[in-house]
Amino acid sequence: MRPFKTPGLDKTMCGIVGYVGHRPALGILLGGLRRLEYRGYDSSGVVLLNGKGLEVEKAPGKLSALEERLKSHPLSGRIGLGHTRWATHGGVTERNAHPHLSCDRKIAVVHNGIIENYAELRQGLRRHTFSSGTDTEVLAHLIEACYRKLGGHPLRAVTMALERVRGSFALGVVNADYPDLLVAARVNCPLVIGLGEGENFLASDIAALLPHTRRVVPLEEGETAKIDPSGVSIFGPGFARVKRRPLEIAWKADKALKGGYRHFMLKEIHEQAQTVAAEVQGRDGGLDDVRLPGNLQRVVVAACGTAWHAGLVAKTAIEELAKLPVEAGLASELRYGDTPFDRRTLTVALSQSGETADTLAALRLAREAGSPTLAITNVRGSTLAREADQVLFMRAGLEVGVAATKTYTSQVMNALFLALHLGRARGTLPRARFLELLKGFRRLPGQVERVLERTTEIEKVARKHARGYDFMYIGRRYNLATAYEGALKMKEISYLHAEGYGAGEMKHGPLALVDGRLACIAVAPRGRVTEKMVSNIQEIRARGGRVIAVATAGDRLVASVADRVLEIPACEEMFSPVLAVVPLQLLAYHAAVSLGRDVDRPRNLAKSVTVE
């Protein structure tokens, strides 16, 4: 077998789940899909194999639509696949929902990814009848053709088919002739196998497996797997057998439940006192197992979205404590740019999921240029964790809400620890100051708790402003990131217009937006730039804008100029992004709820952005 072609990292964002074992598969597949729904919620479907052959049910829209159909028409079987779709090729319709079947209805495929040469492949399958407008369906027919040509061999039929495919994929295949066999394959899209007793599982990510097993084996690039109830065999390119030790995952299954909260997002906002505490624990002595390279000249941070905002905090902190120049780059720009990477540049790839396509591409670019790489990620076994030279694992646990909350504060905490230890390693941070900062870190969990106690007050502010206002979030230095992050939270879950801006930039244009319909959120805790923030607040007030300030408890100066203050406990300026973002997460959450938005599944978004 030739190695699979891996043209790039362009991927789509769907969720796959598979089961083979001794239990009825339907409930397990639907449970898995529920945990994967954040990866896409345009349509969903399942296929089960039973005495009648392959039986399929699919529905456009959210998973609840599929569940509704299955209530009146449940499917039986102890082997099956499920899929939740974020549409790329082909509209959001029932016929385009996965699974897709071969002509003889003996082979079913679920797929996450893009088949780039699907049009050409489809041409070569002219005798086959296609029933959807998707690229994926071509796989079902191609595997069918290979299966016939080989006179059997379900695994080889898949690998033979994939030799002709260009693109990226994670796929699961069932074959009606083999009632105990799931076949899986991956190129550039995540796929993990879960190991059980007399049963085994397949999923796009660990979250879907947690209720059943914490022993997982991630598939790597170009690998295929044969999964039956008694075992799993993995094959690399050339059909070579691969032995891989399973990972033991510490995440708890109950993290995938709402635990009495109305939304995952609210639960995850409230978990931050614990997750911040988890980040602090045992971090005094060093950065887990990470060994920081010596002789560095600069640092490049590569990240997207919320993770990029944490990257901005990393930049400010590393420049302050380690006196190293830092470029905090959007991974989508870095990957097509000419940023020089070399042996003396530490590249830090920040990504909660560890699967973001652009961040992975930037990491690969840096590695090719000889730059030492450090991943900061929440997911063990993720592609980023496997490909980076070293990994600092966040301790946020599973995050289900599409909008990142606890993983943002965890990213910021890790960014700060990195700065602290770089400072020590380079001799730019005196020991006494280091110890003082460590004390500040230890106070953070209790301080987060105190901010969370103010939920009712923040809810009132949110309700008052959710209708009739645009939002402008401003900040400086450490809290420029907080302003960006606050605005992103507001727009992504409430769909209100919100901008994040450097407070010092207001006079260079955005001040023209200020009128009585603009609510300005000024992130102004105590620090080097508080007085500058106060001037910016006054300039906005003087032009008729409303200002809600996030300020240090007891700060009379800020209170005297703002319309309203949301207080956070006093802390070092460097720690303030951890505290100041919490009221902004709550503000966005309550605004979205009061507008009736689907907070955990905002429109057009998916949690893992595996498409560039």
Total residue length of the chain: 612
Set 58, 267, 489, 607: catalytic member? 607
Instruction: Compare residues 79 and 349 and give the one whose CB is closer to ligand F6R.
Output: 349
Chain residue whose CB lies nearest ligand F6R: 305
Instruction: Compare residues 209 and 609 and give the one whose CB is closer to ligand F6R.
Output: 609
What H or E segment, with its residue span, contains residue 111? strand 107-115
CB 354 to ligand F6R: min, Å: 7
Question: Which of these segments, 35-43, 217-225, 302-310, 538-546, binds ligand F6R (CB under 6 A)?
Answer: 302-310
Near ligand F6R by CB under 6 A: residue from 306, 316, 332, 390: 306
Instruction: Compare residues 36 and 403 and give the one whose CB is closer to ligand F6R.
Output: 403
Task: Work out whether 352 is an interface residue with ligand F6R (CB under 6 A).
Answer: yes
CB 373 within 8 A of CB 325: no
Task: Work out whether 132 is an interface residue with ligand F6R (CB under 6 A).
Answer: no
CB 45 within 8 A of CB 59: yes
Rounded to an integer, what distance in angstroms lies between the CA atom of residue 598 and that of residue 494? 9
Q: Angle formed by the axes of helices 480-494 and 305-321, to 10°?
A: 170
Task: Work out whether 410 is an interface residue with ligand F6R (CB under 6 A).
Answer: no
Task: Work out whether 413 is an interface residue with ligand F6R (CB under 6 A).
Answer: no
CB 376 to ligand F6R: min, Å: 9
Task: Work out whether 356 is an interface residue with ligand F6R (CB under 6 A).
Answer: yes
**How is residue 468 annotated by DSSP?**
T
Catalytic, 607? Answer yes
Question: 449 to 488, contacts with ligand F6R by CB under 6 A?
Answer: 488
Task: Work out whether 403 is an interface residue with ligand F6R (CB under 6 A).
Answer: yes
Q: What is the 3-state secondary structure (H, E, C) of 333-382?
A: HHCCCCCCCCCCEEEEEEECCCCCHHHHHHHHHHHHCCCCEEEEECCCCC
Tokens of 142: 């191609």
Instruction: Compare residues 359 and 371 and give the one whose CB is closer to ligand F6R.
Output: 359
Task: Work out whether 353 is an interface residue with ligand F6R (CB under 6 A).
Answer: yes
Near ligand F6R by CB under 6 A: residue from 161, 391, 404, 416: 404
The CB-side HSE value for 471 (13 A sphere, CA atoms) comes to 33
Catalytic, 189? Answer no
Rounded to an integer, what distance in angstroms lies between the CA atom of residue 334 and that of residue 304? 11
CB 101 within 8 A of CB 142: no
Task: Work out whether 359 is an interface residue with ligand F6R (CB under 6 A).
Answer: yes
Cα–Cα distance list, 211 to 197, 201, 253, 268, 483 (Å): 14, 11, 5, 19, 37
Set 11, 14, 315, 520: catalytic member? 14
Rounded to an integer, what distance in angstroms lies between the CA atom of residue 302 and that of residue 524? 27
Rounded to an integer, what distance in angstroms lies between the CA atom of residue 82 and that of residue 110? 7
CB 609 to ligand F6R: min, Å: 4
Question: Which of these segments, 16-24, 350-358, 368-376, 549-557, binds ligand F6R (CB under 6 A)?
Answer: 350-358
Instruction: Return the active site residues.
Output: 14, 607
Which chain residues interact with ligand F6R by CB under 6 A? 304-307, 351-353, 356, 359, 403-404, 488, 492, 609
